[in-house]
Amino acid sequence: IEQTALQNDKLAILGRISAGIAHEIRNPLTSIRGFIQLLKPYLFQVGKEEYFRIILAEIDRANDIIYEFLNSSKPSAPMKQIIPINELIKEVALLTESEALMRNCQINLESYSSEKELKVSVDVKQMKQVILNIVKNALDAIEEVRGERRGLIDLITREDGRYVELTIRDNGKGMDRSTLNRLFDPFFTTKQSGTGLGLSVSYRIIRNHNGTVRVNSEIDAGTSFIIYLPLAE
Shortest separation between residue 6's beta carbon and ligand ADP, angstroms:
31
Shortest separation between residue 144's beta carbon and ligand ADP, angstroms:
8
Q: In this structure, how many other beta carbons lie within 10 angstroms of the beta carbon of residue 169? A: 19
Closer residue to ligand ADP, CB minimum distance, 88 or 197: 197
188 binds ligand ADP (CB under 6 A): yes
Reduced to 3 states, what is the DSSP secondary structure of residue 163? strand
Per CB under 6 A, the segment of 53-61, 94-102, 117-125, 195-203 that binds ligand ADP is 195-203
Closer residue to ligand ADP, CB minimum distance, 86 or 137: 137
Closer residue to ligand ADP, CB minimum distance, 86 or 195: 195
Name residues contacting ligand ADP, limited to 112-171 (CB under 6 A).
133, 137-138, 141, 170
Closer residue to ligand ADP, CB minimum distance, 90 or 191: 191
Partners of 214 in the β-ladder:
226
Q: Which of 201, 183, 184, 69 is nearest to 123 (CA)?
A: 201
Measured CA to CA, the distance from residue 82 to residue 60 in angstroms comes to 36
Measured CA to CA, the distance from residue 193 to residue 2 in angstroms comes to 42
